[in-house]
Amino acid sequence: MPNGVRIQGLSGDVSLVSVQSSVEPRMFLTGKKWAGLAFKSHEVTLQRDELKVLKCQGGRCVLEITALGTDHGPTILQKDVSRESLRAGQSRRVRLEQGQALTLTTASIVHPLHKRGAIIET
């Protein structure tokens, strides 16, 4: 899968993190079953004009997000007011508290009603 990101839980309540999309149905990440096992890794696709939101529904967790690369430029991570871009192979650790959200888009996202150009200026 060349387009998207890999999400790896590092600690906390990973099973309470939902992945919402503007294109696909909502899903929840899966945590580990038993105390000694490692967290599962999830590969999430990211299309050109798609917006993904990772939201912590309860508790707190630490996630590692690795960009797998897209044909539409770097992946943009936005948490609160901070914005970072990830190129293929780069990764970031993100801490989410209860109610916090992380937004994932590509650099070339275009608003569906206004086909004039990219929404995000990088």
- Of 20-24, 80-84, 108-112, 115-119, the one with minimum mean pLDDT is 115-119
Predicted TM-score (pTM) of the model is 0.80
| Angle in degrees, CA 17, 23, 24, rounded to 5 | 50
**Structure tokens given for 84:** 């970072």
**How large is the average pLDDT for residues 32-41?**
72
**Alpha-carbon span 104 to 96, nearest angstrom:** 14
**Alpha-carbon span 14 to 90, nearest angstrom:** 21
**Alpha-carbon span 19 to 24, nearest angstrom:** 10
